[in-house]
Chain A
Amino acid sequence: MNFKKQLYEGVLTKNPVTVQLLGMCSTMAITTSLFNGLGMGLAVTIILTCSNILISALRKVIPSEIRIAAYITIIAGFVTIVDLLLQAFIPALSESLGVFIPLIVVNCIILGRAEAFASKNGVLASAVDGITQGIGYTLALVIVCVIRELLGSGTFGGGLLNGGQGFRIIPEQYPAMLLVMPVGGFLVLGCVIAGSQWLMKHLEKKSKKKEAAKR
């Protein structure tokens, strides 16, 4: 078991959002407040982990000819369960994420991991993969959320902290509305991807230097 390596991959080198560029629709649409980002990230992590476990457990039973149909059925089942539970027990989150919860069914991250990982690896490794990829997704969403919310609405922690209003950091008349709109999502995501690329290059150089120093 290599949890640390998988976590490193999920968060940085194989991050579903910034490297694999999966699930862009939800990334653009819901990342306008911290509450949305955390909620969406958590929902996807739970669904991804559950579907990874089940698909991995059934990988020898499901004939490869019908695997996509079987995966989608299983994923849709989990998504609907989470959707119903959210509606019943966390209605505020369900309202704020709206149609994007049911749309997790077609979020490429879930089917992508089912096809690329869970269908080829054991149950435990697949569960870890679901959790680490989920963490990577959540982290990327939260970073985009915080930037967009701060520069676009001027608040931090909207929907979650300070009675749902969030803390106002920039006075109401200054924030750039553009960033809250879809186009802002693309701009911020582009910058976040650039940032993560820089970080990866930086870390790579560092580890190479270390090796060189050893010699």
Chain B
Amino acid sequence: MKTESTAKYVLRLTLTLLIITTLVAASLAGVNSITKPEIDRINAEKTQKAIEAVLPGGGEALESFPDETGLVTAVYQGESGYAVQVAPAGFDGEIDMMVGVGSDGSVLGISIISHTETAGLGAVAADSGEKGQAFRSQFTGLTGQVLVTKDGGTVEAITGATITSRAVSQGVTAALACVADLG
């Protein structure tokens, strides 16, 4: 160490770090090339399932759609109406959800694709149990502005998860507005 010149010393530090980062990057690229097709497939499958859950027969993605609320991420058109993917902000991050809207402009059903709400509270909105199903079925048939009872609407919020319930209502409202604009 003592005999090493400053230039050599700096070079040694730089090269060591460079080699380590290069090797890490290379191995990540390798793993990514294996997992990417699988991850893409799983995501596509999830979206497809969510569409079919709210819009019988599924639908084709529209390339352009009106989005005044800024919450709409995709719109799928099917025979019996539209499936609108919205991402309202929940208690803890965005709630990625699909809203089916019938040709009469009312909600056919909603399904939550992914979320990071609190387990046992907000997460109830997405779970497959009785409570979750009861919560989601409230939205079926609604039109216009969807609000929770606390805000003067009809949606019974999940106990202890008003923010999540509000977010879901907001998403449904945005989806309805989007379809109304589509005509």
Contact = CB atoms under 8 A, between A and B. Distances in A.
Genuine A/B complex: yes
Interface of A: 32-33, 58, 61-63, 65-66, 69-70, 73-74, 76-77, 80-81, 84-85, 87-89, 91, 95, 98-99, 152-153, 165, 177, 180-181
B16 A61 contact: yes
Given A66-B13, A74-B24, A91-B42, A32 B31 contact: no
Given A58-B20, A73-B20, A88-B42, 20 more contacts: A33-B119, A62-B20, A63-B16, A66-B16, A66-B17, A70-B20, A73-B21, A77-B27, A77-B28, A80-B28, A81-B27, A81-B28, A84-B32, A85-B35, A89-B38, A99-B93, A99-B116, A153-B119, A165-B129, A180-B120
B16 to A, nearest CB: 6
28 contacts: A32-B119, A32-B120, A62-B16, A63-B13, A63-B16, A65-B13, A66-B13, A66-B17, A69-B17, A70-B17, A70-B20, A73-B24, A76-B24, A77-B24, A77-B27, A77-B28, A80-B28, A81-B27, A81-B31, A84-B39, A87-B39, A88-B38, A153-B119, A165-B129, A177-B159, A180-B118, A180-B121, A181-B118
B24 A177 contact: no
Contact of B120 (A65, A69, A177): A177
Contacts of A61: 16
B70 interface: no
B119 A180 contact: yes
Interface residues of B, number: 26
A175 to B, nearest CB: 8
Interface of B: 12-13, 16-17, 20-21, 24, 27-28, 31-32, 34-35, 38-39, 42, 93, 114, 116, 118-121, 129, 159-160
